[in-house]
Amino acid sequence: MMSTTSASRQRLPGIAALLLVSVTALSDTSEISRRDGLTIPVSPYPNWSYAGCYVDTVQTRMLPFNFYTGRPITNANCVSFCSNHGYYVAGTEYSGECWCGSSIIPGDTLAPDADCSMPCKGDSTEACGGPNRLTVYETASTFVDPGIMGFHSLGCWTLQPACGSSPQYWKIVQAYTSCIIGLFQ
């Protein structure tokens, strides 16, 4: 008669093999299936990947730019829209909203994938965020600073303690700002 301990040990290699096959099969899929029947495309657009379900609120938007794409939202058409407009992060929210931004900022709050449980209006089998939740995708492409009105960023510099605090400095900033504002009136 076999003891329960030795019977359990004999089953372990079989369980380990089953887990290995399951993990291997999961790594070859193009979407994540969930218990609620919705899927999350792992890569809905070339060079983009699923980043997670994130908390988003009206007061503190994770992705600041909201776009109406002109058609019912899917993760793929939102990511395509954001990518074609030069953004590096895209997210769908509340079944039909598409949001874009330049980066995921440290401090943005990751939520459980189950929180992004509303079906997309353009494909009811896909998850498109939820109330105050974004299904987020990002690209690994390198960020290129587009500059503003012919000016280009020189990077981030450390200012001397007194730099920027003199009245003359603020007069220059005020004059420059007035000129820029005048161009748009």
State the DSSP string of 85-101.
Answer: TT-SEEEEETTTEEEEE
**What residues does 110 pair with on adjacent strands?**
54
Whether residue 173 is contained in a domain is answered as: no
Residue 16 lies in a domain: no
Number of domain units in the chain:
1
**Is the pTM here over 0.85, yes or no?**
no
Query: For residue 40, which of 67, 69, 88, 78 has the smallest C-alpha distance?
Result: 78
Helix then strand then coil, % of the chain, to nearest 5: 30, 25, 50
- Which residues span the domain enclosing 52? 31-139
- 161 inside domain: no
Q: Does residue 57 lie in a domain region?
A: yes
Flag whether 151 is in a domain.
no
Residue 87 lies in a domain: yes
Please indicate, yes or no, if residue 38 is contained in any of the structural domains.
yes
**Per-residue confidence in pLDDT tens, the chain, 185 aa:** 545 444 444 443 443 333 333 333 333 344 554 445 688 777 788 889 999 999 999 898 999 999 876 789 999 999 999 999 989 999 999 999 999 999 998 889 999 999 999 999 999 999 999 999 999 999 987 555 555 666 655 555 554 555 455 555 555 656 656 555 555 54
Residue 7 lies in a domain: no
